[in-house]
């Protein structure tokens, strides 16, 4: 194979079997254990890289989308301040305090017809985060998470609202 940058044929294949003994860090977020599979360096039990010995380019498809580890770093750096919209949902739940999950979903989905799928998922994720962070509305947030598991966009929503913590140690 030829280097994706300089077309050199001096491509080293390195496979480092490290089992669960890896250490990875980016922007202050670190991970001990298995190799994250979204960093372009292998995954699971091993670091697998193809390195050009002429120009140093790691072979792969770059740039990569934001990795889980980076999301963890971003979350830690900037605890999400709720958007105005998310705050209005929180205020609504606090003022009504009737546990009406359906009404909250209707509010969150307002304007759904003019939003693309991703926008509405983003918006719902923001609201749920804002609700679960506030102890007064945490119960509603948790209920919404349960109900929305049946939503067609749940697979997109879940990564946005799941806490990166001990959980992702296992999923690597």
Q: Which residues bind Zn ion (CB under 5 A)?
A: 3, 5-6, 8, 52, 54-55, 57
Nearer to Zn ion, 4 or 145 (CB): 4
Give me the least distance between CB of 60 and Zn ion, in Å please. 12
Give me the least distance between CB of 55 and Zn ion, in Å please. 3
Q: Do 101 and 147 touch, CB atoms closer than 8 A? A: yes
- SS3 percent helix, strand, coil of the chain, rounded to 5, is 45, 15, 40
Handedness of CA 37, 41, 42, 44 (dihedral sign): negative
Nearer to Zn ion, 3 or 144 (CB): 3
Give me the least distance between CB of 7 and Zn ion, in Å please. 7
Give me the least distance between CB of 166 and Zn ion, in Å please. 39
Nearer to Zn ion, 57 or 122 (CB): 57
Residues 129-155 as b/e (b if ≥16 CB within 10 A, e otherwise) read bbbbebeebeebbeebbeebeebeeee
């Amino acid at each position: 194979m030829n280097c994706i940058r300089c077309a050199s044929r001096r491509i080293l294949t390195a496979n480092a079997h490290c089992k669960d003994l890896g250490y990875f860090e980016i922007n202050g977020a670190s991970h001990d254990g298995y190799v994250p599979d979204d960093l372009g360096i292998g995954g699971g039990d091993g670091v697998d890289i193809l390195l050009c010995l002429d120009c140093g380019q790691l072979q792969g498809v770059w740039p990569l989308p934001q990795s889980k580890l980076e999301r963890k770093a971003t979350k830690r750096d900037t605890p999400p301040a709720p958007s105005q919209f998310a705050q209005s949902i929180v205020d609504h739940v606090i003022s009504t305090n009737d546990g009406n999950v359906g009404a909250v979903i209707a509010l969150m989905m307002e304007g759904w017809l003019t939003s693309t799928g991703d926008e509405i998922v983003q918006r719902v994720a923001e609201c749920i985060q804002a609700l679960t962070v506030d102890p007064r509305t945490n119960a509603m947030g948790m209920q919404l998470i349960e109900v929305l598991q049946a939503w067609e966009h749940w697979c997109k929503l879940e990564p946005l609202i799941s806490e990166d913590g001990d959980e992702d140690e296992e999923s690597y």
